[in-house]
Amino acid sequence: MTAGTAGAAHTQRIREFKMPDVGEGLTEAEILKWYVKAGDTVADGQVVCEVETAKAAVELPIPYDGVVHALHFDEGTTVDVGTVIIAVDTDPGAGPVGEAPGEAAAPAEEDDAEPQGRQAVLVGYGAAPSSTKRRARKQQPGVPAQSEPVTAGLQAELNGRSAPAPATTPVAVPVAPAAPAAAVPVAERPLAKPPVRKLAKDLGIDLATVVPTGPGGVVTRDDVYAAAAPAEAAAPAAPEVAVPTAVAPVTAFDAARERRVPVKGVRKATAQAMVASAFTAPHVTEFITVDVTRTMKLVQELKQDPDLAGLRVNPLLLVAKAFLVAIKRHPEVNAAWDEATQEIVYKDYVNLGIAAATPRGLLVPNIKDAGAKTLPQLATELGELVATAREGKTSPAAMSGGTVTITNVGVFGVDTGTPILNPGESAILAVGAIKLQPWVHKGKVKPRHVTTLALSFDHRLIDGELGSKLLADIAAILERPKRLITWG
């Protein structure tokens, strides 16, 4: 058997499973738990690990039969999409696995066993290697290898920086003939993560003109901001630089009594989304305090209704229904802002998001076509949605496509708040705690169940009059829930 034949057989025997793109173009995932170890037998379709993306926890099935040859990463490690995470010996009866001839000299990232293009790692998943793996620079045919200082100088020139000074003892390098312009790899797409690309687009910066400072030539957010800053701001006056004579005070930390937790997964994605929403959509928040005594009585009656037996009936259910009816009366609020085309997109469906606090952070799954559902259907889906979110099993699809959201801060005893919009949505309704308070009812002060509602909305889509009418209608329905029938 030749070395080439042995290498091919070895490659076909050891199958490597790469981290798939398990949700809407995400670039990385954290390995939460391995369900197998080296030496375990696995079957096609068997779940081998659980990973957490920026959106949800997902279980990954292996697409091979065989024995686990190696686990490449420990639990708690964040891995880029397209990186090999587990290797499976698909022919364990052939004896011990040995290194194929010539294999040690090959780069670890080059794997020709799988076809080019998308790798079928999961049904509906798979990441193109070119989008998740950086290609190693190859030596041009006929061009001698360059010394390290010359290579660094060429790379610096390509990045728009001046070449570093040569070493004291220069290394003689043969001069290669000038290559054609088409052979210089300057037209490659700049390396940058999706949030950085969006930032550059928003600021009107061409990434090809930005000098990268991140590891491996990756463009960072700071690089984009530096490119967007005015030229005069980049060169402050000399006196301003020389004036400080004392070292700036350093924040003191007491490491013995402090804990540091890396921000990643759902919590990191939530933080980024909230910052983007707060500084992109102009928020307006309005408040109204309403007597919901009749709604609370209706909740108690519905709990005794045989048609709703076994379903979770609570005030949130009727608040959700009131929100949906109010949107039906004012359909213009159910819209989205398309920045790319400078258009308002009006939607004839309502995907109602419900903010749920989970051990992994805040999740906002939504009920698809909630406006078309009956009260029992709404109660069923609301209960399933919250239970699934608290278990951390919400799928990425369940958290995409929302149009409006409800956040129930009242369960924590909070009266009200100023909620931030879920990115891409037009409005979010915060429901405060329902408490017995003195209230003027029919000319007399009586104890009544009262709550405060807060509605935040995108002022690009909803003006003050429309937002006020929507909030007033929600309050009117909760004050007199019979309007669910007359208005619905």
Are residues 89 and 14 in contact, defined by beta-carbon separation less than 8 angstroms?
yes
User: What are the φ/ψ torsions at residue 274 (nearest 5 degrees)?
Assistant: -70, -40
Which pair of tokens denotes residue 376?
A: 């029992």
**Strands 28-34, 366-367: pairing kind:** unpaired
Measuring CA to CA, which residue among 430, 363, 374, 370 is closest to residue 397?
363
What distance in Å separates the CA atoms of residue 58 and residue 51, rounded to the nearest whole number? 5
Are residues 420 and 279 in contact, defined by beta-carbon separation less than 8 angstroms?
no
Measuring CA to CA, which residue among 235, 217, 236, 220 is closest to residue 160?
217
Q: What is the DSSP string of 376-393?
A: HHHHHHHHHHHHHHHTT-
Q: What is the DSSP string of 338-369?
A: ETTTTEEEE-SS--EEE-EEETTEEE--EETT
Length of the chain: 488
Measuring CA to CA, which residue among 125, 108, 29 is closest to residue 70?
108
Q: Which amino acid is at 57?
A: A
Measuring CA to CA, which residue among 339, 388, 343 is closest to residue 364?
388
CA angle 194, 58, 353 (to 5 degrees): 70
Q: Which residues does 240 contact at the CB level (< 8 Å), separation at least 6?
A: none
* Catalytic residue of the set 10, 69, 330, 459: 459
Q: What is the DSSP string of 298-331?
A: HHHHHHT-GGGTTS---HHHHHHHHHHHHHHH-G
Q: Is 459 a catalytic residue?
A: yes
What distance in Å separates the CA atoms of residue 320 and residue 403, rounded to the nearest whole number? 13
- Helix (H) or strand (E) holding 166, with range, is none
What distance in Å separates the CA atoms of residue 125 and residue 25, rounded to the nearest whole number? 10
Measuring CA to CA, which residue among 372, 359, 387 is closest to residue 261?
359
In the chain, what is the greatest distance between 2 CA atoms, to the nearest angstrom?
99
Which pair of tokens denotes residue 470?
A: 């929507």
Which residue matches tokens 């619905």? 488
Which pair of tokens denotes residue 112?
A: 């020709």
* Catalytic residue positions, numbered: 459
